Amino acid sequence: MNPDGDGAASHEAAPAKVNLYLHVTGRRADGYHSLSSLVAFAGVGDRLAVRSIARGLTLETSGPFAAAVPGDAAANLVVRAARQMLAAAGRTDGLALTLVKTLPVAAGLGGGSADAAATMRAIERHLGLSLAESRRRAIALALGADVPACLASVPVLMGGIGDRLAPYRALPPVGIVLVNPNLPLSTAAVFQALDGRFSPDDPMPAMALDFNHLTAALAARRNDLEAPARQLCPALDAVLAALGGQPEVALARMSGSGATCFGLTRDAATAAAVARRLAAARADWWVAASTLSGGCA
What CATH topology corresponds to 10-167?
Answer: Ribosomal Protein S5; domain 2 (3.30.230)
The CATH code of the domain at 174-293 is 3.30.70.890
pLDDT tens track for 119-129: 999 999 999 99
Quick check: 7 and 124 in contact, CB under 8 A?
no
Task: Determine the average pLDDT of the residues in 201-213.
Answer: 84
Q: What is the mean pLDDT of residues 24-36?
A: 91
Give the Cα separation of 244 and 253 in Å (integer): 9
Q: Cα separation of 10 and 82, whole Å?
A: 14
pLDDT of residue 7: 64
Whole-number mean pLDDT of the chain? Answer: 92
Name the band, by pLDDT with cuts 50, 70 and 90, for residue 5: very low
Q: Which residue numbers are catalytic?
A: 17, 146
Average pLDDT over residues 155-184: 93
Delimit the domains of the chain by residue range.
Answer: 10-167, 174-293
